Structure 1
């Protein structure tokens, strides 16, 4: 059976590629595993990458697909902490505690590179020029989901849509894309009910700001969506 996932790292555009390049003679990565990469893992949808409370040992770089991180509240309800896409790294939050704070599960077929944290530390020690890059990556990761503190549901959803489009297609000004997660998951992440998410989508369409068909989203008035994300009222 044909598998759409390519079984080798896709290093072009990966945020961690400068680290791999430092451990590899050729920028083209002719060998499928740069020295810093411990192994290359393939996950099917719903497969777990790691569980909360597991001992921290590695960072994981997503090469293809989407990972969802979450934790469980005292009642066992899932609280989504983030969605992560190709070229993004996960596991940073465990550096301080020594254990993963959240569970990570594939919500599509996924390919990840596992990079032992000890290898990262050794590389940062031998290649000080990479220290600034590493701090930049951590800072960028911390900024994901900053809009969750927004007061209004419209502002959160507008910010979310802009964020997802930018991260799914970082090198393109994409106006149409497919949302890879369910309305329930979107609401969970934004701390809104699925019904509220649906109502806000409907309002955006009524004002002809976006068009939504199934999971496909098309930005009609991009500037208007940005204004809403910044806390302004509907234009007009």
Structure 2
């Protein structure tokens, strides 16, 4: 893992950047960010950011890239707990416990900002807009997480794809994106088999709801996908 104490090269690509800089990188707010960010971690694919039982000291904001969190059950099986993308924050679950509960591993080349927890609290106190953004992220994770496991397999995958599109492109509507994770990981997270995920994706493709080219997904009938997911009451972007 490569560490840099002050690297802002990927800041413009981070959805957290509106809270990090205003007119330019030399702004007062950007200077505040530089003070609270301890260092930047450059992770390669499959590289671990933290492990269960590591003492909680920092939260991590993803500048660019993707990570997953998981734990190992009593039988030695991996249970994926979440996926995280640019501008999202990892480590909230450790605040109460005092140590990280899951392993966090990069799904691709990833850059994260390490922010000591006390510094993060100071940052929140100085920026009400950031407070609102953080509460939104936490609420979003709780909402979609609880919803996904109360519906059918078809609904789970449809809801997952819509949520994924929204989170990969939070500031714009995008009908096409690359899957950052494997079908095996999607199935693991949704508590479905990889075979079920492949079958459902093929079914969506056959019904011309989506187009698939390897890891590239395109929504052909986004409103139908949204209807299939049954998430009209959830706060997601309209297509």
TM-score (normalizing by structure 2): 0.83
Report whether the alignment pairs 1:194 with 2:194.
yes
Q: Deviations over 1:164-194 (max 9, x none)?
A: 1111111221111111111101100100001
**Which residue of 1 is the match for residue 51 of structure 2?**
51
Alignment of 1:191-230 (within 5 A): 191-230=191-230
Contact 1:11/1:17, CA 8 A, preserved across alignment: no
Deviation of residue 202 (structure 1)?
1.4
Greater CA drift, 186-195 or 146-155: 146-155
Structure 1 runs, 4 residues or longer, greater than 4 Å off: 130-134
The answer as to whether partners of 2:15 and 2:170 remain within 8 angstroms in 1 is: no
1:174-185 mapped onto 2 (5 Å cutoff): 174-185=174-185
1:144 Cα deviation from its structure 2 partner: 4.3
| C-alpha distance in 2 between matches for 1:211 and 1:43 | 31
* Aligned partners of 1:63 and 1:112 also within 8 Å: yes
- Where in structure 1 are there 5+ consecutive unaligned residues? 1-6
Which residue matches 1:26?
A: 27
Equivalent residue number for residue 237 of structure 2: none
Alignment of 1:111-126 (within 5 A): 111-124=111-124
- Once the two structures are superposed, residues 115-149 of structure 1 have per-residue CA deviations (whole angstroms, 9 ceiling, x without a partner) of 00011234445x38465554344333433433322
Query: Does the 8 Å CA contact 2:20/2:29 hold for their aligned counterparts?
Result: no
- 1:169 alignment partner in structure 2: 169
1:52 Cα deviation from its structure 2 partner: 1.1
1:56-92 CA-to-partner distances (Å, cap 9, x unmatched) read 0000000010001000000111000111000100100
Distance 1:141 1:116, change over 3 A: farther
Residue 16 to residue 52, structure 1, CA distance change in 2 (3 Å) = farther
TM-aligned CA deviation for residue 17 of structure 1 = 5.2
The count of residues paired between Structure 1 and Structure 2 equals: 222
Partners of 2:134 and 2:218 in 1: how far apart? 34
Q: Where does 1:24-103 land on structure 2 (aligned, <5 Å)?
A: 26=27, 29=30, 34-103=34-103
1:155 aligns to 2:155 (yes or no): yes
Does 2:9 align with 1:14? no
Q: Give, in whole Å, the separation in 1 of the partners of 2:192 and 2:108.
A: 23
SS in 2 for 1:225: helix
Q: Please, what is the CA RMSD of the aligned residues?
A: 2.6
Between the aligned partners of 2:223 and 2:87, the Cα distance in structure 1 is: 27
- The secondary structure found in structure 2 opposite 1:228 is helix
Unaligned runs of 5+ in 2: 1-6, 233-239
Segment of structure 1 superposing worse, 149-158 or 60-69: 149-158
CA contact (8 A) 2:16 2:63 kept: no
